[in-house]
Amino acid sequence: MIPNSQEIAADWSLRVEAALGRYDGELLDGVATRLLKPRGTLPREEVLDRTIEFFSNPVQVDRRISALDPAAQILLEVAAKSQKTVWFVGNLVEIVLGLGWKDGIGAVVGLLESGLAYPVFQLPTTPSPANEFQEMTTAAPLSQPVQFGNFLHWLSSPGPMGHNLFFVPGVLERMEGKPPLLPDLSKNPHARAPGRDEEDGQQADESEPFEEVIYGAPPFPGVEADGCEWFIRISLLWQKTQKNPLKMTQAGEFFKKDQERLEDSQLVAPIPESNVVVPDLGYWLAESARATGVLQAVDIELQATDFPVSWGKGWTGALRELLHGSFGASGWNPQDGWKPQVPGEPVSNPFPSALAIAFSLLGSIESGSWISPRVIEAWILRNHPWWAGQGVRPSRRKPFLETWLAGIVWPMGLVEMAKDPDGKLLFRLSASGKMLMSGASLSGETRAIPKMLLIQPNLEIMAFRQGLDPARIAKLSMFAVWKAFGPACMLQLTPDSVYRALELGESFESVRAFLDGHSTRPVPQAIIDQIGSWASKRERVVIHTSAMVLEFSSATDLEAALGRGLMAVRLGDRHALVDNEDAVDFRMFRLSGSRDYRVSPEPCIRQGPDGLDLTVDETKSDLLLETELPLLADPVLQKIGGAANRHRITPASMARVRERGWNLEMLEQWFRTRTGESPKSSVKLFFLAKARKSLVIEPRIILQSDEEETTEGLWQWQEFKAVTLERVGPCAISIHPEKVEQAKSMLESVGLKWGGMISQKDP
Amino acid sequence: MDPGQSRIPVKVHRRVCILRSDDPIIIEEVLSRKKLQNDIAGRLTPSSVLIRPGRTEPIIAELLKLGHTPKIVQRPQS
Percentage of residues in chain B with pLDDT exceeding 90? 21
pLDDT at position A691: 63
Closest-CA residue of A relative to B52 is: A624
Q: How far is B8 from chain A (nearest CA, A)?
A: 5
CB contact under 8 A, A549 and B59: no
Out of B13, B14, B72, the one facing A503 most closely (by C-beta) is B72
Q: How far is B76 from chain A (nearest CA, A)?
A: 6
pLDDT bin (cut points 50, 70, 90) of residue A175 is confident
Query: Rounded to 10 degrees, what is the CA torsion of A155, A161, A165, A170?
Result: -160
pLDDT bin (cut points 50, 70, 90) of residue A142 is very low
Out of A589, A596, A630, the one facing B7 most closely (by C-beta) is A589
Helices (H) and strands (E) in chain B, counts: 2, 4
CB contact under 8 A, B44 and A587: no
Q: How far is CA B23 from CA A14, A63, A171, B48, in A?
A: 48, 70, 60, 10
CB contact under 8 A, B8 and A552: yes
A62 class by beta-carbon count within 10 Å (0-12 exposed, 13-18 middle, 19+ buried) = middle
CB contact under 8 A, A572 and B26: no
Closest-CA residue of A relative to B57 is: A545
CB contact under 8 A, B17 and A577: no
Structural domain includes residue B36: yes
pLDDT bin (cut points 50, 70, 90) of residue A442 is low
Q: How far is B61 from chain A (nearest CA, A)?
A: 11
| A328 CB neighbour count, 10 Å cutoff | 21
Closest-CA residue of B relative to A546 is: B15
pLDDT in tens, chain B (78 residues): 555 578 899 999 999 999 999 888 889 988 888 888 888 988 888 889 999 888 888 998 888 888 788 888 877 654
Q: Does B27 touch chain A (CB under 8 A)?
A: no
Q: What are phi and psi of A734, to 5 degrees?
A: -85, 130
| pLDDT tens-place string over residues A542-565 | 999 989 999 998 999 999 998 888
Out of B43, B50, B74, the one facing A546 most closely (by C-beta) is B74
Helices (H), A241-314: 256-262, 281-291, 309-312
Angle, CA A645 vertex, CA B54 and CA A674 arms, to 5°: 40
Q: How far is B2 from chain A (nearest CA, A)?
A: 9
Closest-CA residue of B relative to A625 is: B41
Structural domain includes residue B4: no
Pairing of strands A605-607, A589-596: unpaired
Structural domain includes residue B50: yes
Closest-CA residue of B relative to A582 is: B78
* pTM exceeds 0.95, yes or no: no
Q: How far is CA A408 from CA A279, A333, A353, A423, in A?
A: 11, 11, 16, 20
Which own/partner pairs from A258-261 qualify as long-range (CB within 8 Å, at least 24 positions apart)?
none
Q: Does B76 touch chain A (CB under 8 A)?
A: yes
| pLDDT tens-place string over residues A680-723 | 988 988 888 766 667 778 888 999 888 899 999 999 999 999 99
Structural domain includes residue B1: no
Out of B9, B68, B75, the one facing A553 most closely (by C-beta) is B9
- In total, chain A counts a number of residues equal to 763
CB contact under 8 A, A545 and B76: no
* CA A136 remoteness from chain centre: 28
Measured between alpha carbons, how far is A315 from A228 in angstroms, rounded to an integer?
10
Angle, CA A164 vertex, CA A330 and CA A332 arms, to 5°: 5
Structural domain includes residue B22: yes
Of A141, A79, A150, A61, the C-alpha closest to A110 is A150
Out of A544, A547, A628, the one facing B41 most closely (by C-beta) is A628
Measured between alpha carbons, how far is A723 from A742 in angstroms, rounded to an integer?
7
User: Does pLDDT of A130 surpass 50?
Assistant: no
Q: What is the mean pLDDT of residues A735-742?
A: 90
Contacts of A131 in chain B (CB under 8 A): 78
Q: How far is A118 from chain B (nearest CA, A)?
A: 27
Closest-CA residue of A relative to B29 is: A541
Contacts of A591 in chain B (CB under 8 A): 10-12
Pairing of strands B8-20, A589-596: parallel
Ranking A244-248, A314-318, A387-391, A664-668 by mean pLDDT, the lowest is A387-391
Out of B12, B50, B68, the one facing A624 most closely (by C-beta) is B50
User: Does pLDDT of A219 surpass 70?
Assistant: no
What's the domain count of chain B? 1
Hey, of A496, A541, A550, A566, which one would you mutate to test binding to chain B, going by the most B CBs within 10 A of its CB? A541
User: Does pLDDT of A392 surpass 80?
Assistant: no
Q: Does B53 touch chain A (CB under 8 A)?
A: yes
Could you give the angle at which helices A525-538 and A495-503 cross, rounded to 10 degrees? 60
pLDDT bin (cut points 50, 70, 90) of residue A329 is low
Give the range of the structural domain holding residue B28, as residue numbers without chain letter. Answer: 17-65
Measured between alpha carbons, how far is A457 from A459 in angstroms, rounded to an integer?
5
User: Does pLDDT of A168 surpass 70?
Assistant: yes
**Residues 6+ away with beta carbon under 8 Å from A306:** A504
Contacts of B68 in chain A (CB under 8 A): 537, 540-541
**Residues 6+ away with beta carbon under 8 Å from A529:** none
Measured between alpha carbons, how far is A328 from A313 in angstroms, rounded to an integer?
23
Contacts of A590 in chain B (CB under 8 A): 7-10
Ranking A344-353, A569-578, A591-600 by mean pLDDT, the lowest is A344-353
Measured between alpha carbons, how far is B72 from B78 in angstroms, rounded to an integer?
18
User: Does pLDDT of A348 surpass 80?
Assistant: no
Structural domain includes residue B71: no
Structural domain includes residue B49: yes
SS3 A488: strand
CB contact under 8 A, A542 and B5: no
CB A570 within 8 Å of CB A562: yes
Give the mean pLDDT of chain A: 84
Helices (H), A89-216: 89-98, 104-114, 129-138, 151-155, 169-173, 194-200
- In total, chain B counts a number of residues equal to 78
| pLDDT tens-place string over residues A254-310 | 999 999 999 988 899 988 787 788 999 999 999 999 888 899 988 889 999 989 888
Percentage of residues in chain B with pLDDT exceeding 70? 90
pLDDT bin (cut points 50, 70, 90) of residue A639 is low
Q: For residue A190, which amino acid is it?
A: H
CB contact under 8 A, B9 and A585: no
Query: Rounded to 10 degrees, what is the CA torsion of A425, A426, A428, A430?
Result: -40
pLDDT at position A543: 92
SS3 A665: helix
The conformation of residue A204, written as its DSSP 8-state character, comes to: B
Interface A:B, Cβ pairs < 8 A? 198
Percentage of residues in chain A with pLDDT exceeding 70? 88
Q: What sign does the dihedral A68-A71-A72-A77 (CA atoms) show?
A: positive
| A355 CB neighbour count, 10 Å cutoff | 27
Out of B45, B51, B56, the one facing A575 most closely (by C-beta) is B45
Structural domain includes residue B61: yes
Structural element, H or E, at residue A164 = strand A164-167
Of A408, A425, A262, the C-alpha closest to A323 is A408
CB contact under 8 A, B10 and A571: no
CB contact under 8 A, B71 and A595: no
pLDDT at position A445: 60
Which residues on neighbouring strands pair with residue A427, listed in sequence order?
A371, A417
CB contact under 8 A, A549 and B70: no
pLDDT at position A535: 84
Contacts of A497 in chain B (CB under 8 A): none
Out of A126, A543, A579, the one facing B76 most closely (by C-beta) is A579
Q: Does B25 touch chain A (CB under 8 A)?
A: no
Helices (H), chain B: 24-32, 56-65
CB contact under 8 A, B26 and A540: yes
Q: How far is A306 from chain B (nearest CA, A)?
A: 13
Out of B26, B44, B74, the one facing A626 most closely (by C-beta) is B44
Percentage of residues in chain A with pLDDT exceeding 90? 35
Measured between alpha carbons, how far is A752 from A707 in angstroms, rounded to an integer?
12
Measured between alpha carbons, how far is A491 from A485 in angstroms, rounded to an integer?
9
CB contact under 8 A, B78 and A128: yes
Contacts of B13 in chain A (CB under 8 A): 548-551, 595, 597, 622-623
Q: How far is A670 from chain B (nearest CA, A)?
A: 12
CB B51 within 8 Å of CB A627: no
Q: What is the mean pLDDT of residues A502-522?
A: 89
CB contact under 8 A, B10 and A551: yes
